[in-house]
Structure 1
């Protein structure tokens, strides 16, 4: 009996030793490199600043001659930024979320979890966008009604007309200076005003900051073999996404200090996420191969992918190229061709990087 217990104890100790040796071998094959992770903090920061800085040097498309080479290059760069954002969402976030769910065994319950959490991210972004547009449109209608009332009162000596308010409300929208009628009162048509563009820019920036922290956190948890291709992919992503974000800030015509603050936030958030990931990985009790860790990474990647996909599709691609009046009414097909070519190139570049990342 004693020999049987002793033998069982020896077998348990041998099994534990073998398991420890396997873990050590795995670590030696794919170690966690703290030096690379710290370097990544500054690499990503530099790529983010470079992307936004390059965009500021180009300036807004509204400041360019529509027939100039600069305008075409700017349109191409905008398109590349859109393509990089969409491909990052689909391939580098949602696509890669399948593996951690598989490693955790969570996919046995339902194999499409990455798509589920991506839809949650898209749904959240859609609600935020709806709230923004609802407030913006209702404020424009209210403003138009008030201005129409003032004009009508000035014309009729105190009486207002519903038809005049409706007429102003249905006017097409423009950012050009308002016209002055005979009574000397400004008749402002409803448009996507500068204030609306600024609110939209803040919303886009906020959503991007959220997913940037999460992307950085995910990167801070990666081992050496994954880190090297991943930092290349994220650097491309941060550069071209930064270019696109800066274009939105230029359209919103923020002052210097607001642009400086929003540029700083964008440039730092991914690096802050990396630092959080490093602290989490090196902290006590963290097991990167545990079921909980894999599920967490899978959920983070999926939700970030959904946020980014919605932003890239509905904000950038749609507004800049698909329904942009300048693109649709342009006598030349060169600008829209350059825009869609840029989207294609951005997708292609990030898809190729996805072979290794």
Structure 2
């Protein structure tokens, strides 16, 4: 292995600049996540629906590009580095992509398992409801009441619609939790990278992360708002996202003078976390956000063509902008 595998950070470390970056990214992340939540909860703000849809679309493009451009390549690079043992460099140099694939399939398995369990719970509740209705009917007949006045549907239309809404609500809540898990790993890693960087690398990465955190936060805030969590859970999710990258920056600042970026432990840890994050974000971005909000959303596709394709163009714009940012972040 070359000596670069054991190199540490240079001595020109600007502590005040890193502290300023930490608080700037904290505030930017918080604002980006709060905007769609506040807009949904307080309609009097009168934010035009097109702007909300455009922000959601841009954030979706950002998430997809983050998975493909920001997470997957470093996962492959780190887990095939020449600073790692022979297995990583020659025997199987696609481990990063395999980790991402495993993460995406695991998320799909988790989602379908939770959906199956949820459907069984709802089915049992409906059977119990039907049984209770029949028992009430028997009681009414024993007291001589007219049977025609007793309604005994297994599941009437309003109950059916409520059940569907409940299932969709739970599924969306699960999606949001999975989404935030994927973003968490990724946010801490990029924060750590900023925390240990110096010079022009620090300045470029900082500018990229301000942009990145705002629009990724907007995507998260939109899903949290759609899921309609309680106020405390919503606030907790906003704070979690807002703090994840600053926590990574703090860790990076603490280890900046001893951090060995190309050590085996660092490469494997970052490679696996990047791969897991990439798989989760790619699955969430393509399957859940893009499909759920746009491709299979009848309310969206039934709008006029100009509106529909304008919003899809914003998805592309978000993906393109985040892909360009990938040159520095």
Q: TM-score, normalised by structure 1?
A: 0.73
Residue pairs, 1:56-205, within 5 angstroms: 56-59=37-40, 70-100=48-78, 101-105=80-84, 106-155=88-137, 165=154, 168=155, 179=158, 189-193=162-166, 194-205=169-180
RMSD, aligned CA: 3.5
Matched, 1:337 2:303: no
Change (3 A) 1:287 1:188: closer
SS in 2 for 1:190: helix
In structure 1, how many angstroms separate the alpha carbons of the residues matched to 2:112 and 2:132? Answer: 30
Change (3 A) 1:206 1:349: same
CA contact (8 A) 2:182 2:277 kept: no
CA deviation map 1:300-330 (0-9, x unaligned): 32222122222222221121112223124x2
Residue pairs, 1:1-357, within 5 angstroms: 27=10, 32-59=13-40, 70-100=48-78, 101-105=80-84, 106-155=88-137, 165=154, 168=155, 179=158, 189-193=162-166, 194-283=169-258, 286-328=259-301, 330-357=302-329
In structure 2, how many angstroms separate the alpha carbons of the residues matched to 1:76 and 1:122? Answer: 26
Compute the displacement of 1:108 (Å): 2.9
CA contact (8 A) 1:104 1:295 kept: no
Q: Which moved more, 1:126-135 or 1:197-206?
A: 197-206
SS in 1 for 2:165: coil
In structure 2, how many angstroms separate the alpha carbons of the residues matched to 1:111 and 1:218? Answer: 23
Compute the displacement of 1:117 (Å): 1.9
In structure 2, how many angstroms separate the alpha carbons of the residues matched to 1:107 and 1:116? Answer: 14
State which structure, 1 or 2, has the greater radius of gyration over its C-alpha atoms: 1
Compute the displacement of 1:33 (Å): 4.3
SS in 2 for 1:314: helix
CA deviation map 1:126-158 (0-9, x unaligned): 233233323322222222323333344445669
In structure 2, how many angstroms separate the alpha carbons of the residues matched to 1:187 and 1:331? Answer: 27
Higher relative contact order (CA 8 A, sep 6+): 2
Compute the displacement of 1:270 (Å): 1.7
Count of matched residue positions in the alignment of Structure 1 and Structure 2: 309
Compute the displacement of 1:75 (Å): 1.0
SS in 2 for 1:104: coil
In structure 2, how many angstroms separate the alpha carbons of the residues matched to 1:198 and 1:99? Answer: 34
Compute the displacement of 1:70 (Å): 1.4
CA contact (8 A) 2:28 2:213 kept: yes
**5+ unaligned residues in a row in structure 2: which ranges?**
142-151
CA deviation map 1:284-312 (0-9, x unaligned): xx422334333333333222212222222
SS in 2 for 1:102: coil
